[in-house]
Amino acid sequence: MSVMLDRLLKEKIVAIFRGIEDKDADQAAKALIDGGIAMMEITLNTEGATVMINRWREKFGEQAAIGAGTVLDLDMAKEAAAAGAQFIISPNLDEAVVAYGRERGISVWPGVTTPTEIVRAWKAGADAVKLFPLGTLGWKYLAEIRAPLNHIPMIATGGVNIDNIADYFRAGASAVGMGGKLVNLDWVRSGQFNLLTEQARKFTEAVKLL
């Protein structure tokens, strides 16, 4: 088992930072770390993402694993690796990205929806997959998919909130990816970083009970 997969299975939550402004990013990251979050993904369609990844590795590397999200192809994977990303997450499956990550010891968790995509990703060498989008499909879809494919770790992404997080784990999620429900950009913009910490604590406490 890779070091990052081991950490993912232990921490159970990946915070997704999308569209955050550089000036707010460090305080937001610190607020989540204070609330117990120890895996953070900055999506590459966020302006200045690679600069932030690089800086967070230096600033928060002892406290949290820092990865890149929305990595669509090999060029983007190379950018993420150059910035110091410890894991790569995609909304899609690109076998070249998985192979690149394996060569360099970077965990790649590609985005998949169907059983065929999940198995393809696993055969390509992904040690976990991001089941996406679950905002529409929900935890019942995850439960059905897990029945024949329970040997493949799945990160449930989309639609997870404080009321249903336990349902996702009971349905077989190995971890969850959380964006706006955890990284609330309205709170960030208004400087209410204490609310981010409180929210992070609610989710980390919830998964400890599972």
The percent of residues above 70 in pLDDT, for the chain, comes to 100
126 part of a folded domain: yes
Q: Is the pLDDT of residue 209 over 90?
A: no
Per residue in 179-196, pLDDT (tens digit) is 999 999 999 999 999 999
13 part of a folded domain: yes
DSSP string over 38-56: -EEEEETTSTTHHHHHHHH
Largest pairwise CA distance in the chain: 46
Distance CA 65, CA 164 (A): 25
E strands in the chain: 13-17, 39-43, 65-69, 87-89, 107-109, 111-112, 129-131, 154-157, 175-178
- Split into its structural domains, the chain has a count of 1
- Please list the alpha-helical segments (H only) found in 61-157: 74-83, 95-104, 115-124, 134-146
Whether the pTM exceeds 0.85: the reply is yes
Q: Is the pLDDT of residue 1 over 80?
A: no
Q: What is the pLDDT of residue 169?
A: 97
84 part of a folded domain: yes
Angle between the N-to-C axes of helices 22-34 and 193-208, in degrees from 0 to 180, rounded to the nearest 10: 40
Q: What is the pLDDT of residue 141?
A: 97
Distance CA 160, CA 77 (A): 26
Contact 76, 101 (CB under 8 A): no
Reported as a pLDDT band with limits 50, 70 and 90, residue 120 is: very high
Per-chain mean pLDDT for the chain = 97
Buried-exposed string 46-56: b where 16+ CB fall within 10 A, e elsewhere:
beebbebbebb
What average pLDDT does range 75-82 have in this prediction?
A: 98
User: In 3D, which of 99, 108, 162, 113 has the Cα closest to residue 142?
Assistant: 113
Contact 141, 134 (CB under 8 A): yes
37 part of a folded domain: yes
Q: What is the pLDDT of residue 16?
A: 98
The enclosing domain of 135 has a CATH number of: 3.20.20.70
Q: What is the pLDDT of residue 63?
A: 97
209 part of a folded domain: no
Q: What is the pLDDT of residue 147?
A: 95
Is the bond into 133 cis (omega within 30 degrees of 0)?
Answer: yes
> In terms of residue numbers, what domain contains 29?
3-204
Give the catalytic positions in this structure: 41, 130
Distance CA 148, CA 155 (A): 16
